[in-house]
Amino acid sequence: MDLGIKGKKVLITGSTSGIGFACAEIFIQEGAEVIINGRSNETIEHSIQILKKSYPQSIIKGICADFRNKIQIDQLINNLPQADILINNVGIYTSESFEQTSDETWMDMFNVNVMSAVRLSRAYLPEMLRKNWGRIIFVSSECASIIPADMIAYSTTKAALHAVSRGLAQICVSSNVTVNTVMPGSTLTEGAVNFINEMAMKNGISFKEAESNFFKNVRTSSIVQRFLLPNEIAQSIVYLASNMASATNGSVVKLDGGSVGGIF
């Protein structure tokens, strides 16, 4: 099946690891030109080298920017004035009580999780509309709906993305530009592996048992009762970015293993 994204220029924020990196690999397999982003040239270069090894003919570039820093975002936009597909993937979180979450943490999370997506969408959407083709995808989280008590700030930023995404879709009336949001569930990225390993060591149990306990005791609503793989999330993101998904606009797509619940 031809996804129709060969040669499209794709910026994936926060793509040196995790879900973003998994997206980069699939976009490359589909012949898209991929721009990898992270906070340091070292991690970007490392990611590009890994991808180039497997896909030597591919066009992969890197662009360094820390989304806590507006000047660095402006520089990113100056260096990359146009993108056909924007994956607003970068996201940071803390697990702490509401009382202990400082203003600085709230603002950091708001800048990275929400304002990065706002600023980049504002920069790239007008040209997408002029060319009458484009894709913007926001990576939210199951937490936008579940709202764990120790992740209120994170969950709030993810819920905010849903409003930005829906609002932008409504600007795209009668065009071939789509704007959608995905809601991943708990996914086995490096951070999750470290978290499960810590739980396993602390309780003298295996990795599998620690994973199973997380779903029995914490993410009880998950239907799949396992961590999702970055690739499972990335496949759906790339599908939404493709021509195959032209009927999906202004939507929220759950990639949560069933954790969010409800029938819509």
Ligand X SMILES: NC(=O)c1ccc[n+]([C@@H]2O[C@H](COP(=O)([O-])OP(=O)(O)OC[C@H]3O[C@@H](n4cnc5c(N)ncnc54)[C@H](OP(=O)(O)O)[C@@H]3O)[C@@H](O)[C@H]2O)c1
User: Which residues contact ligand X (rule: CB under 6 A)?
Assistant: 14-20, 38-40, 43, 66-68, 89-92, 112, 139, 141-142, 184, 186-187, 189-192
Q: How far is the CB of 258 from ligand X (least distance, A)?
A: 14
129 or 159: CB nearest ligand X: 159
How far apart are alpha carbons 197 and 194 in whole angstroms?
5
5 or 67: CB nearest ligand X: 67
Q: Which of 93, 124, 154, 239 is catalytic?
A: 154
How far apart are alpha carbons 34 and 83 in whole angstroms?
10
Q: How far is the CB of 44 from ligand X (least distance, A)?
A: 7
Closest residue by Cα to residue 90 from 15, 201, 189, 176: 15
Q: Is 55 a catalytic residue?
A: no
How far apart are alpha carbons 130 and 108 in whole angstroms?
33
Q: Tokens at residue 114, please?
A: 């929400």
Helix 70-79, helix 116-131: angle, nearest 10:
20
Q: How far is the CB of 78 from ligand X (least distance, A)?
A: 17
Judge contact between 169 and 181, C-beta under 8 A.
no
132 or 197: CB nearest ligand X: 197
37 or 178: CB nearest ligand X: 37
How far apart are alpha carbons 39 and 48 in whole angstroms?
14
What is the three-class DSSP state of 36? strand
β-pairing, 134-139 vs 85-88, is: parallel
Q: How far is the CB of 21 from ligand X (least distance, A)?
A: 7
Residues annotated as catalytic (active site), given as ranges: 154
